[in-house]
Amino acid sequence: MTTVDANQVALGIESFGDDDAPLVLLAGGTTMLSWPDALCERLAAGGRRVVRYDLRDSGESTTADPHAPTYTLRDLAADAAALVDALGGVPAHLAGIGVGGMVAQTAALDHPGAFSALTLAGTRAVAPGKSDADLPDHDKATMKRLFTRPMPDWTDREAVAEFAAARAEILGDDPVAARAIAARIWDRTPGTAPPTQMSNQLGMVFATLNCKPRWRERLPEIEVPTLVVHGRRDPFFPVGNGEAIAREIPGARLLVLEEAATAIPDAAAGEVAEAMLSLG
């Protein structure tokens, strides 16, 4: 892992493969490790240079004052375009998961020349917290269980890993995988409190609620080949959100993972990689 300067910030990145055709993976609400190793390796084996990175304000990327973040959703979108330029300027396949999927939609709209294809996984076309009437919102019972759990001691590696495993079990994801990933995240950035960074990132998404036009209304402008991946059992952004994105982006393909929730399981890595590589 290393860092790359892009858009006046340092972005923590990790690369797989050495081909010149870049495939850039935006993190979800934690770090680059929201993109599983198995998927990155399958994509690299398919002839792509895979670069997953930490969004600004997470992992090894530049972090903001947790009480006064100064960046916006469009800054994160500009980071993605600047990273592609720093990698050689060849238009890249851009993929975003969760909150990263919201960033990816905005990046594809604001910087269309930087990207050759788009993958959106487990995300939605509007800011969380105020759903459009036609979009399913968070499962309330699941959210109550999720957000009433006490926070761990962020300086305690084992407590953080256990907390992540319990959250994964509530969401329907693999708690064993979540525990291992949380431990790896802690090893990279010991003692940090990811919920604070996630709140900052979500805050800049909430700030777009009153911006006109909303990015959902602009989705028909996206012209690059697009894949939408969504877990059938996702209680956080239910599958109807992915279905809406696929309807509104011209020619988009929808891939529903029947046994998945919010994370892409290793068992689905081959299927997802094949679909992503088919975009070119």
> Residue 210 corresponds to which amino acid?
N
189-193, 221-225, 229-233, 266-270: range with lowest mean pLDDT: 189-193
- The answer to the question of residue 18 being in a domain is yes
In tens, the pLDDT along 1-32 reads: 899 999 999 999 999 998 778 999 998 777 89
DSSP secondary structure letters along 187-235: HHSTT--HHHHHHHHHHHHHTTTT-SS-HHHHGGG--S-EEEEEETT-S
Largest CA distance in the chain: 47
Q: Is the pLDDT of residue 200 over 70?
A: no
Q: Work out how many domains the chain is built from and give that number.
A: 1
**Span 175-195, average pLDDT:** 85
What are the structure tokens assigned to 210, written together? 């009153």
**Span 241-265, average pLDDT:** 97
Would you give the distance in Å from CA 96 to the centre of its chain?
Answer: 4
Q: Please state the length of the chain.
A: 280
- The answer to the question of residue 178 being in a domain is no
Helix (H) or strand (E) holding 158: helix 157-171
User: What mean pLDDT value characterizes the chain?
Assistant: 90
Q: Is the pLDDT of residue 208 over 70?
A: no
**Span 199-225, average pLDDT:** 76
Pairing mode of beta strands 226-231, 2-6: unpaired
Q: CA gyration radius for the chain? A: 17
**Residue 223: what pLDDT?**
96
CB-neighbour burial class of residue 193 (10 A; exposed 0-12, middle 13-18, buried 19+): middle
- The answer to the question of residue 166 being in a domain is no
- The answer to the question of residue 65 being in a domain is yes
Q: Is the pLDDT of residue 92 over 90?
A: yes
| Helix, strand, or coil (residue 121) | strand
Whole-angstrom distance, CA of residue 56 vs CA of residue 201: 9
- The answer to the question of residue 180 being in a domain is no
Q: Is the pLDDT of residue 65 over 60?
A: yes
- The answer to the question of residue 14 being in a domain is yes
| Helix, strand, or coil (residue 65) | coil
- The answer to the question of residue 84 being in a domain is yes
**Span 129-141, average pLDDT:** 86
Pairing mode of beta strands 9-16, 2-6: antiparallel
Residues near 105 by Cβ (< 8 Å), separated by ≥ 6?
96, 118, 120, 123, 125, 215, 219, 222, 245
Quick check: 73 and 101 in contact, CB under 8 A? no
CB-neighbour burial class of residue 275 (10 A; exposed 0-12, middle 13-18, buried 19+): middle
**Residue 253: what pLDDT?**
98
Whole-angstrom distance, CA of residue 280 vs CA of residue 88: 18
- The answer to the question of residue 171 being in a domain is no
Q: Which domain holds residue 103?
A: 2-135+192-277
**Residue 220: what pLDDT?**
97
**Residue 226: what pLDDT?**
98
In tens, the pLDDT along 51-64 reads: 999 998 888 898 87
The backbone torsions φ and ψ at residue 127, rounded to the nearest 5 degrees and listed phi first, read -65, 145
CATH number for 250: 3.40.50.1820
Strands (E), the chain: 2-6, 9-16, 22-26, 49-53, 92-97, 115-121, 226-231, 253-257
**Span 149-154, average pLDDT:** 90
